[in-house]
Amino acid sequence: MRTMEDAGPMTRTSGALFVGRQTRWGQAGRDLIAVAVATLTTFLLSATFEVREWMTEVTRPVEHYQMDELPLTFAVLALALAWFSLRRWREAERELRLRVEAQAQLAEREDEHRLLAQKYMLVQEEERRSLARELHDEMGQCLNAIKLDAVSIRNVAQGRDPEVEAGANAIIELSAHVYDVVRSIMQRLRPAALDALGLRDAITDLVGQWSRRNPSVQCRFDATGELNELGEAVNITVYRLVQECLTNIVKHARATHVTVAIERTGDVLRVTVSDDGRGMELGVKRTGLGLLGLRERVEALAGKLELHSVQGNGLQVCAQLPVAAGADASRQPPARSAVAEGEGQER
Ligand SMILES: Nc1ncnc2c1ncn2[C@@H]1O[C@H](COP(=O)(O)OP(=O)(O)OP(=O)(O)O)[C@@H](O)[C@H]1O
Ligand SMILES: [Mg+2]
């Protein structure tokens, strides 16, 4: 069902069409007055100075060229030109109307596309969450059982059969290693900290883990404003954004300092990840999917993603997301927002 908000672009464009039509009629009226004044002035001047009689006198010597037929011919030409321009004007108006309608349809499709993208992200996250649950419940339990059995075998074999004991120890070590791998896959599939701790602490945890893995890079995290109750969609978008940016920094930046900042001011959430690495050339087509996916995620929530970079001087990834006070954005269609338009820019 279309709501008043849905009808926004159409109302705006038809409003603009109405105002445009009014302006056009105003101009046409002024032009018609100019035509009438010019015609009347010509008539009065011709009447005063007897122009036609004078022309007859002047053209009498070349009468055989039928010059006296020219006034009527020109009058017909003027009428024909008026008819011609009227038809072109109507054509232009029809074209304009079609273009305005197409623009309104495009805006509507964009809104639908944004809704679809948001839905797709939520379904993807739900799928990842259930995969992580399956991994935890199935693999986790099996590995634990294998480890317990191996411990029993080792206890029985201890002091009696060194070969069996060594084999059991190897199974214990291997199952612990596989469990660590599964845990890290689960963590990547679904950040458990996000559900357990909330956005602020989940990002603190993410940044902490990242710093431990990359001790040569100094990473600072600042969070200001109310970050609770932002909703599942916003939380997961911010988490994935910080996650991808930190991964990119390790892969591409060669940075020594990184800052992650989340700031909420009223109904706008601003997330910035900056590094002092080698930066990148913006506007160049790339094959990577990370930044592309981030833009999709942010725009699905009617937000805006900007990249600022000077080569050799680091990269700043900045996302602005509209957040309704106290509302769970995952259950709401994204509103068309003041921060919804715009491309990445260079600094
Ligand atoms: N922090 C950064 N510093 C310098 N260059 C960067 C940084 N982040 C991204 N880039 C550049 O932008 C490109 C696109 O990044 P993107 O994350 O989209 O793809 P990717 O990391 O190469 O691959 P993936 O699809 O696995 O994410 C990278 O290949 C890299 O050249
Ligand atoms: Mg990447």
Would you say residue 43 has pLDDT above 60? yes
Residues 95-126 pLDDT 10s: 999 999 999 999 999 989 888 988 888 898 88
Q: How far is ligand 1, taken at its centre, from the CA of residue 318, in Å?
A: 15
Residues 8-30 pLDDT 10s: 444 444 555 555 666 767 888 89
Q: Is 249 in contact with 217 (CB distance < 8 Å)? A: yes
Which range is most confident: 48-52, 59-63, 87-91, 134-138? 87-91
The C-alpha R_g of the chain, in whole angstroms, comes to 37
Sheet holding 257-265, edge to edge: 218-224, 257-265, 268-275, 315-322, 304-309
Residues 218-230 pLDDT 10s: 999 999 999 988 8
Residues 177-195 pLDDT 10s: 999 999 888 888 888 888 8
Pick the atom of ligand 1 nearest to 277's CA.
3
DSSP per-residue codes, 131-189? HHHHIIIIIIHHHHHHHHHHHHHHHHHTTT-HHHHHHHHHHHHHHHHHHHHHHHHHHHH
The pLDDT mean for the chain works out to: 85
Architecture of the domain spanning 196-331? 2-Layer Sandwich (3.30)
Q: Which of 197, 329, 223, 317 is nearest to 267 (CA)?
A: 329
Q: How far is ligand 1, taken at its centre, from the CA of residue 252, in Å?
A: 6
Average pLDDT over residues 70-83: 91
Q: How far is ligand 2, taken at its centre, from the CA of residue 317, in Å?
A: 12
Of 9-23, 231-245, 283-297, which gets the smallest average pLDDT?
9-23
What is the predicted pLDDT for the residue at 319? 97
- For residue 14 the two structure tokens come to 């038809």
The ligand that comes nearest to the alpha carbon of residue 307 is 1
Alpha-carbon separation of residue 182 from 185, 194, 262 (angstroms): 5, 18, 30
**Could you tell me the residue ranges of all domains in the chain?**
8-120, 126-189, 196-331
What is the predicted pLDDT for the residue at 9? 44
Assess whether the C-beta atom of 252 lies below 6 angstroms from ligand 1: yes
Assess whether the C-beta atom of 199 lies below 6 angstroms from ligand 1: no
* Three-state secondary-structure class, residue 118: helix
Pick the atom of ligand 1 nearest to 279's CA.
4
* Three-state secondary-structure class, residue 281: coil
The ligand that comes nearest to the alpha carbon of residue 286 is 1
| Residue with CA at minimum distance from ligand 1 atom 20 | 288
Assess whether the C-beta atom of 202 lies below 6 angstroms from ligand 1: no
The ligand that comes nearest to the alpha carbon of residue 250 is 1
What is the predicted pLDDT for the residue at 94? 96
Assess whether the C-beta atom of 253 lies below 6 angstroms from ligand 1: yes
